[in-house]
Amino acid sequence: MKCLVGLLLGVGVICAQEAPDPRVPAPARPQVQLQKEAQRRLGLVATRAIANFRSADSIEANLNARGLSLHPQTVALRLRIEAALDAARKAVDHADPAAANESLDTAEVLLHRFIQRLGGA
């Protein structure tokens, strides 16, 4: 009998540990996780973009010293990347991870093209 009571108490403790917190609605947890992932991804893409923008600024300064400038398509790509990152930031701020990820997908494709134009891999 003591073993049975101990077993039931043990199962009760395990079930209680696995039960969701009644104060937090079940759908909120995945939404919060998606939001955090979108915010983390935004930080990573923005960091890559900033690093490459600095490289472009350095290249542009060297070109300007010779009386040249960056190709207009390269400048346009930078502006499109900045716009996509701004849209992603707004989506994150409005708790819309789906829209944020869509904008980040766009920013990453454009950033890849930008890096290629700068002579990167």
Q: What is the mean pLDDT of residues 39-49?
A: 97
Mean pLDDT, the chain, rounded, equals 85
Give the whole-angstrom CA distance, residue 57 versus residue 51: 10
- Using a pLDDT cut of 70, give the percent of the chain over it: 75
Assign 101 to helix, strand or coil. Answer: helix
User: By the 8 A CB rule, do 115 and 52 touch?
Assistant: yes
Cβ-based neighbour number of residue 11 at 10 Å = 10
Q: Is the pLDDT reported for residue 16 higher than 50?
A: no
Q: Is the pLDDT of residue 12 over 60?
A: no
